[in-house]
């Protein structure tokens, strides 16, 4: 109809599906959004969260103008200022910090609020600007680094199966993943496989929505996944089902790893994992006899002290069974290793070597007054999402810490800012995306004008560089120029993919065959072979894997929020209701707890409040409380991160959100 346009875009949020969407624009206004029916992975559907994205972009609490703090840190009291005033104050403070303390006293704290290669974390937005100042590097370890490191040790890359090929699998292991809540588009391919006779097993400490729909659910003790992998392979060896041809041609370290497997018989694995021996044996036998087997393992599985090793050992399974040679066989964790985009962050602009600060150590780093003098937060909400929430907020409250927060909404982190800068949302700027759950590049074209005085992240850095008198030409590259650079790596997977083509078509599959068997003929390691874990390093116990010392807390993704995004949306908050903690009936009885009773979920680091839900969805010794709530919108002013310790996983300095023990203390009063 006249005055109506269809604008193609892409979801920017921290989800493997990276959906293609279509925004209908009528008379210059974005009036509706839907999943792109032409995209092979999105297939016309968005999730319950992103279905409200246009509504969310127009929310009454949207930040529309630059602001300066006028109350105490943490009070959330601000006055509106102009962009010129904001840029001038920021410029003066940054210059003063560099002169007095050196550029490394500046910490650009970038999160996963956007996975864009222009506006978000994948392209390390603003890095050229920070290099000019000699700012500290930022290690974004909060999400997936332990698993990425483990997979890279085994396969040479975290990249693995094309999730679309799950449709060809005959056995599907959904290992520590809940796609019906976090990445539901995979389920369509699983349904295709089931229609062709596939058997689906959910391996998860919680009986999730996905586990309800699986053919079988194994309630594994948290942190024991590597032991289960070894036990399943023990049965494969007992069945004589190892693929000797693949092992000889494409792996190294097999004999040593084989000896390790033999040390994990079914009975021992049952004791470690809490899964009955007969269930371990039954699944091991099915694994031995079923080709192809597809394993889906996502980020929650590696958020404990042995998380990197868990993925390393799980990744060894298709090397033993030879599943990598079969379409529909292998492991899918993240497809990002197959996206060979060129990211020229211009490290040559650095005045000298700089340190790297680790995302999950924010609280302890801010506790050192001389370490960080400026914290610049963008696409992140550390007061609501980072380990040891109490320590983070104590650090943010430092009066001598100059904090700039670039945000869309008044999060808990915003409340501690000295300067707040309004930033565009996805329907209002250009961006380029590569999903970590499929093999498509997606272009996001703006469908609406930014409200108020919101600027894109890239434009914010261009204006700040100009205001500070910087003249380096690369600081002022346009979004389209940056996108052209990203596509210029020369990798064969990008041949023929241009910005013009992406803008016209909205999405393009990278140049990988269909079906895609990435390691059928070898691995991207130095030797060209899969590298099995060394003897004695295939299972690393964690606190959560122990059987005493309090209750293990799991903080799964909720159905209504995505990390802390949407956690201020009134309708999604209404659906989420008050925070709950799932408690097994035996644990509830032992503590005299009943359904609906409010408790303090507590350990040495802090506490948060939740209402008990007595449920056999969790095993004895395990409690679960969904993540993602804003502390200030939670009872007691804290969320689950108050009890998460600042501690590293075994590989990649990954976070340990699922490796903390707590006790439940009844709240006083009615």
Distance, in Å, from the CA atom of 615 to the CA atom of 602, rounded to the nearest integer, reads 20
* Mean predicted confidence (pLDDT) in 356-378: 96
The answer to whether 334 and 148 have CB atoms below 8 angstroms apart is yes
Residue 629 is predicted with a pLDDT of: 97
What tokens were used for 331? 């492991």
Angle between helices 83-101 and 457-467 (to 10 degrees): 70
| Residue linked to tokens 């892409």 | 10
Q: Tell me phi and psi for residue 315, to 5 degrees.
A: -65, -20
Q: Each residue of 40-59: pLDDT tens digit?
A: 999 999 999 999 999 999 99
What tokens were used for 534? 């060394």
The answer to whether 140 and 486 have CB atoms below 8 angstroms apart is no
Q: CA angle at residue 183 from 302 to 574, to 5 degrees?
A: 100
Strands 374-378 and 402-407: parallel
Distance, in Å, from the CA atom of 46 to the CA atom of 473, rounded to the nearest integer, reads 39
Confidence of residue 599 (pLDDT cuts 50, 70, 90): very high
Which one has a higher pLDDT value, 469 or 27? 469
Confidence of residue 547 (pLDDT cuts 50, 70, 90): confident
Residue 669 is predicted with a pLDDT of: 62
Confidence of residue 546 (pLDDT cuts 50, 70, 90): confident
The separation between CA 312 and the C-alpha centre of its own chain, rounded to angstroms, equals: 18
DSSP 8-state assignment for residue 1: -
Is pLDDT at 670 greater than 60 in this prediction? Answer: no
Query: How far apart, in Å, do the first and last CA atoms of the chain sit?
Result: 59
Segment (H or E) for 266: helix 266-273
Distance, in Å, from the CA atom of 332 to the CA atom of 328, rounded to the nearest integer, reads 10
Distance, in Å, from the CA atom of 251 to the CA atom of 245, rounded to the nearest integer, reads 10
* Mean predicted confidence (pLDDT) in 495-503: 98
Identify the bridge partners of residue 618 per DSSP, sorted by sequence position.
Answer: 206
Distance, in Å, from the CA atom of 100 to the CA atom of 83, rounded to the nearest integer, reads 26
* Mean predicted confidence (pLDDT) in 644-653: 95
Q: Each residue of 115-140: pLDDT tens digit?
A: 999 999 999 899 999 999 999 999 99
DSSP 8-state assignment for residue 222: T
CA separation (Å) from 2 to 8, 30, 214?
A: 18, 15, 48
Cα-based torsion angle of the residue sequence 170, 177, 211, 19 in order, rounded to the nearest 10 degrees: -80
Q: Each residue of 175-188: pLDDT tens digit?
A: 999 999 999 999 99
The answer to whether 579 and 384 have CB atoms below 8 angstroms apart is no
What is the percentage of the chain residues whose pLDDT exceeds 90? 97
Distance, in Å, from the CA atom of 38 to the CA atom of 507, rounded to the nearest integer, reads 10
Segment (H or E) for 237: helix 225-238
Q: What is the mean pLDDT of the chain?
A: 97
Residue 135 has a CB neighbour count (10 Å cut-off) of: 27
Q: Tell me phi and psi for residue 290, to 5 degrees.
A: -120, 115
Query: What DSSP string describes 436-486?
Result: SSSSEEEEE---SPPSTT-B-HHHHHHHHHHHTT---GGGG--HHHHHHHH
CA separation (Å) from 349 to 133, 344, 489, 553?
A: 9, 11, 20, 44
Is pLDDT at 268 greater than 90 in this prediction? Answer: yes
Closest CA to 241 of 198, 291, 276, 277: 291
Confidence of residue 16 (pLDDT cuts 50, 70, 90): very high
Residue 351 has a CB neighbour count (10 Å cut-off) of: 12
CA separation (Å) from 110 to 130, 360, 380?
A: 12, 12, 6
Is pLDDT at 260 greater than 90 in this prediction? Answer: yes
Is pLDDT at 2 greater than 60 in this prediction? Answer: no
What tokens were used for 353? 């070597």
What tokens were used for 583? 């408690």
């Amino acid at each position: 109809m006249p005055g109506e346009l269809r604008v193609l875009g892409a979801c920017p949020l921290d989800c493997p599906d990276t959906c293609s969407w279509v925004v209908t624009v009528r008379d210059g206004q974005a009036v509706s959004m839907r999943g792109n029916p032409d995209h092979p992975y999105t297939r016309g559907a968005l999730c319950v969260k992103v279905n409200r994205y246009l509504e969310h972009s127009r929310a009454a609490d949207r930040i529309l103008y630059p602001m300066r703090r006028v109350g105490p840190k943490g009070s959330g009291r601000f006055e509106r200022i102009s962009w010129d005033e904001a840029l001038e104050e920021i410029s003066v403070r940054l210059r003063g910090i560099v002169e007095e303390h050196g550029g490394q006293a500046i910490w650009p704290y970038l999160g996963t609020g956007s996975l864009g290669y222009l506006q978000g974390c994948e392209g390390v937005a603003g890095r050229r600007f920070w290099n000019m100042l000699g700012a500290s590097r930022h290690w974004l370890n909060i999400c997936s680094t332990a698993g990425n490191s483990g997979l890279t040790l085994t396969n040479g890359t975290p990249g693995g199966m094309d999730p679309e090929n799950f449709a060809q699998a005959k056995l599907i292991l959904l290992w520590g993943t809940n796609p019906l809540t976090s990445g539901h588009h995979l389920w369509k391919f699983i349904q295709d496989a089931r229609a062709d006779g596939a058997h689906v097993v959910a391996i998860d400490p919680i009986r999730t929505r996905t586990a309800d729909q699986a053919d079988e659910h194994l309630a594994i003790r948290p942190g024991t996944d590597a032991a289960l992998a070894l036990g399943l392979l023990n049965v494969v060896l007992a069945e004589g089902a190892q693929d000797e041809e693949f092992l000889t041609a494409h792996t190294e370290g097999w004999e040593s790893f084989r000896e390790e497997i033999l040390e994990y018989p079914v009975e021992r694995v049952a004791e470690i994992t809490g899964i009955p021996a007969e269930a371990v044996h039954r699944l091991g036998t099915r694994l031995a006899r079923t080709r192809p087997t597809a394993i889906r393992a996502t980020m929650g599985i590696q958020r404990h002290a042995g998380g990197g090793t868990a993925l390393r050992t799980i990744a060894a399974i298709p090397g033993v069974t030879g599943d990598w040679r079969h379409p529909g066989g292998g492991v899918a964790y993240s497809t990002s290793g197959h996206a060979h985009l060129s990211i020229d962050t211009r490290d040559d602009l650095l005045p000298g070597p700089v340190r790297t600060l680790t995302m999950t150590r924010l609280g302890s780093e801010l506790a050192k007054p001389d370490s960080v003098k400026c914290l610049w937060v963008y696409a992140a909400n550390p007061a609501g999402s980072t380990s040891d929430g109490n320590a983070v907020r104590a650090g943010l409250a430092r009066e001598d810490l100059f904090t700039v927060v670039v945000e869309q909404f008044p999060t808990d982190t915003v409340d501690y800012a000295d300067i707040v800068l309004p930033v565009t949302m996805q329907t209002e700027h250009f961006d380029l995306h590569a999903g970590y759950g499929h093999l498509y590049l997606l272009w996001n074209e703006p469908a609406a004008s930014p409200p108020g005085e919101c600027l894109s992240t890239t434009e914010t850095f261009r204006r700040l560089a100009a205001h500070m008198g910087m003249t380096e030409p690369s600081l002022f590259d346009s979004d389209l120029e940056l996108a052209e650079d990203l596509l210029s790596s020369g990798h064969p997977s990008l041949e023929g993919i241009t910005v013009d083509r992406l803008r016209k078509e909205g999405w393009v599959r990278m140049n990988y065959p269909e079906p895609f068997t990435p390691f059928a003929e070898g691995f991207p390691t130095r030797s060209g072979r899969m590298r099995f874990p060394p003897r004695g390093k295939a299972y690393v116990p964690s606190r959560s894997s122990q059987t005493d010392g309090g209750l293990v807390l799991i903080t799964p993704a909720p159905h209504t929020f995505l990390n802390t995004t949407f956690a201020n949306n009134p309708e999604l908050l209404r659906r989420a209701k008050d925070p709950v903690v799932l408690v097994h009936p035996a644990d509830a009885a032992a503590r005299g707890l009943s359904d609906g009773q409010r408790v303090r979920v507590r350990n040495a680091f802090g506490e948060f409040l939740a209402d008990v839900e007595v449920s056999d969805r969790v095993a004895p010794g395990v409690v679960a409380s969904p993540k993602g709530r804003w502390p200030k919108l939670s009872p007691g002013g804290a969320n689950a991160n108050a009890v998460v310790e600042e501690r590293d996983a075994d590989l990649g300095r990954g976070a340990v959100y699922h490796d903390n023990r707590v006790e439940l203390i009844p709240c006083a009063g009615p």
